[in-house]
Amino acid sequence: MTTTFTTTTLRWARGIRLGRWQTYAALGLAAILALGAFTALRARAATSYVTAPASVQTLVSSVTASGAVNPQNEVSVGTQASGTISQIDVDYNSKVTKGEVLARLDPSTFTAQLDQAEAALAQARAQAAQASATADGADAAVTIAGDDAGAQNAALAAAQDAVAKAQAALTLAQQNATRDSALLSQGYLAASTVQSDDATVAQDQSDVASAQAAVVEARAQAAAGNATVGESGSSAAAQADAAQAAQAAVASAQANVTADQLNLDHTVIVSPVDGTVVARDVAVGQTVAASLQTPTLFTIAQNLEQMEVDINVAEPDIGNVKAGDTVDFSVLAYPNRTFTGTVSQVRINPQTVDNVVTYDVVVLTGNADGALLPGMTANATIDVGSAPNALVVPTAALAWTPNANATAQSSSPWGSTAAGASGAALTAGSNATVYALRDGKPLPVPVKVLLSTSTQAAVTPARPGALAAGDPVVVATNAATHAAHPSGSSPMQPSGAAMRGIH
């Protein structure tokens, strides 16, 4: 085509017999037009697409991490008493039962303390018995004093009654004497009668004075008796307080005996659970001090047939891990064996080492054959998502657009993440677009992302049937540009990239 165009132009130039410079200008214009036509044809032929077929498969998203194998329930056994280890009855790997003796401390010091406390208790009990007897005597004295005071008060009351009777008799005698004196003056009575009346009055006056003196004496005796009752009551109260204090001393001495007995009992260290001894941190003759904190003597694993794997999962991955996820892991002791467990707990306590934040994920696993030992290093894979029998495409297909030759990136304060055509991260439930190759042309197919990994994504087309298994989807573009050429190449000579066909 280029050759024909150039020849016709020359013939036209010769036919019109132009000047030399006009002929050269016409030839240059023809060359430029030929180069432009060639460049356009080359650009159309140079564009080719790298494709990958969509497929139906089960896509699994996983998180990898490492951790350590530990018993599910591990008990540290210490001592509440300080002393010297005199006997050890178990060793590493020993099977123990609850209450079984593990070790003994030298009990001599605690035995002496217990004996001293028991002696002090006996003395306190004797003093309490004596104080109680004294208090009982004081109570009896109070009773006697009360009885005496009652009798004296009764005597006072009788004396007061006698005074009243004497006063009545005196009054009657005085009345009789007055009456008889009047009758004597009238001559109705003899003088002897009046004299007798006067003698009776004098006698009654004497009786009243005697009765009043008896009242004064009885009152004094009653006051003394009442004072004796008060003194006896005060003494009895004091003796009761002393008896109560003696009883409190007995209780204190008994508490000391109980404490010393407990200390003596603590010299015998027993297992709190059934299990296996996995660590022994003491030896015979070693001194242990429990003054500040309880030292650990033994570590007992309750059930080595049920283990847990504590996995350190990094911060970017922890959001995908949840309880119930399946975990496959291996240990260095058995590199060709895969163990299986289940995520039991995602602990929210962060651990930061060298500015890297991780979280502890607890995985429960069986260990019936005893192959897993405490402390083994586990390399685990946690299945955090699954899309069974899904339509799967490469993640590059979700990132490719007709105007971009590189994977689009979505901006993030934490860095770049692979994104689809829309620029959104490939998260489950997000919308994206893939380009299926139809008759050599990329056609957009809207899809919804079901699950994504670093290399693949499970999708479902927005329109049923728009994308099927085996359909080629574009993942990249091979395009030879003409803005620059390889060293030594000619724009008239097509490059090797331009000769590639469409896939």
Read off the pLDDT of residues 264-285 as tens digits, 9 standing for 90 and up: 999 999 999 999 999 999 999 9
Which pLDDT score is estimated for 27? 67
Neighbours of 93 (CB within 10 A): 10
Which pLDDT score is estimated for 20? 58
**pLDDT tens digits for 401-410?**
887 544 444 4
Per-residue pLDDT at 214 exceeds 90: no
Q: What is the dihedral of CA 21, 25, 26, 29, to 10 degrees?
A: 170
Q: Which fold has domain 109-265?
A: Helix Hairpins (1.10.287)
Which pLDDT score is estimated for 419? 39
What span, in angstroms and rounded, lies between the C-alpha atoms of 253 and 242?
Answer: 16
Q: Are 343 and 327 in contact (CB under 8 A)?
A: yes
Which pLDDT score is estimated for 18? 46
Which pLDDT score is estimated for 447? 94
Name the residue with higher pLDDT: 380 or 35: 380
Neighbours of 451 (CB within 10 A): 21
Q: Are 390 and 58 in contact (CB under 8 A)?
A: yes
Q: Are 225 and 153 in contact (CB under 8 A)?
A: yes
Q: Are 79 and 105 in contact (CB under 8 A)?
A: yes
Name the residue with higher pLDDT: 62 or 191: 62
Which pLDDT score is estimated for 146? 83
Q: Are 435 and 396 in contact (CB under 8 A)?
A: no
What are the distances in angstroms from CA 198 to CA 178, 183, 184, 304?
Answer: 9, 14, 13, 124
With residue 70 as reference, give the H or E element that holds it.
Answer: strand 55-71
**CATH number at 73-106+267-301:** 2.40.50.100
**pLDDT tens digits for 282-298?**
999 999 988 767 788 99
Per-residue pLDDT at 2 exceeds 50: no
Which pLDDT score is estimated for 479? 58
Which pLDDT score is estimated for 77? 93
Name the residue with higher pLDDT: 73 or 8: 73
Instruction: List all residues 6 or more positions away from 354 whose beta carbon is below 8 Å from its beta carbon.
Output: none
Three-state DSSP state, 27:
helix
Q: Tokens 């990898």 — which residue?
A: 64
**pLDDT tens digits for 66-95?**
999 999 999 999 998 889 999 999 999 999
Which pLDDT score is estimated for 34? 64
Looking at 27-36, 223-232, 306-315, 366-375, which range is the least confident one?
Answer: 27-36
**pLDDT tens digits for 13-43?**
444 444 555 656 666 676 777 666 555 555 4
Looking at 113-122, 383-392, 477-486, which range is the least confident one?
Answer: 477-486
**pLDDT tens digits for 321-337?**
999 999 999 999 999 99
Beta strands in 231-289 (DSSP E): 268-270, 275-280, 287-288
Q: Tokens 């009152």 — which residue?
A: 219
Query: What is the average pLDDT score of the chain?
Result: 81
DSSP letters spanning 452-475: E-SSEEEEEESSTTSS-TT-EEEE
The predicted model gives 135-143 an average pLDDT of 80
The predicted model gives 82-110 an average pLDDT of 93
What span, in angstroms and rounded, lies between the C-alpha atoms of 233 and 142?
Answer: 6
One-letter identity of residue 51? T
Query: What percent of the chain is modeled with pLDDT above 90?
Result: 45
Name the residue with higher pLDDT: 502 or 144: 144
What span, in angstroms and rounded, lies between the C-alpha atoms of 423 and 417?
Answer: 10
The predicted model gives 302-307 an average pLDDT of 92
The predicted model gives 427-435 an average pLDDT of 89
CATH pick for 51-68+304-478 out of 1.10.3720.10, 2.40.30.170, 2.40.50.100, 2.115.10.20 = 2.40.30.170
What are the distances in angstroms from CA 172 to CA 180, 197, 198, 408?
Answer: 12, 10, 12, 141
Which pLDDT score is estimated for 46? 52
DSSP letters spanning 109-172: HHHHHHHHHHHHHHHHHHHHHHHHHHHHHHHHHHHHHHHHHHHHHHHHHHHHHHHHHHHHHHHH
